[in-house]
Amino acid sequence: MPDQGHFALFDARKRVTAVDGFGEVLARIRLSDLAVCLSHSPEEIKDSFRDPEGGSLLAVNEGEIA
C-alpha cells in the first residue's frame, strides 16, 4: 500500500499537537474536529455535549462551507 502521507495539527507556538495518517479526507475531518475541541475549555466542551439542543462547538455556521 502506498504511503498516504500524514497531516498534523499545530498549536499557536507551531508545535505538533496531533498527527493523523488515515488519508487526506479523513485526516482533515478528524483534525478539524480536534482543533475545535482544543480551542475551548473542558467546561465549554462538557456544556456543549450536555446541551439538549446538541451544542454548537462542532456546528457549521452559515457561510463557512466553501
pTM: 0.49
Which pLDDT score, from 0 to 100, does residue 27 have? 83
Largest Cα separation within the chain, whole Å, is 44
In a domain, 62, yes or no: no
In a domain, 23, yes or no: yes
Which pLDDT score, from 0 to 100, does residue 66 have? 46
Series of mean pLDDT values for 10-residue runs along the chain (66 residues) = 69 86 81 80 84 71 54
Neighbouring C-alpha atoms within 13 Å toward the C-beta of 24: 0
Residue 32's domain comprises 7-50
In a domain, 64, yes or no: no
What H or E segment, with its residue span, contains residue 8? strand 7-10
In a domain, 36, yes or no: yes
Phi-psi region of 23 (alpha: psi -120 to 50; beta: other; left: phi over 0): left
CA distance 57 to 66: 19
Q: How many domains does the chain have?
A: 1
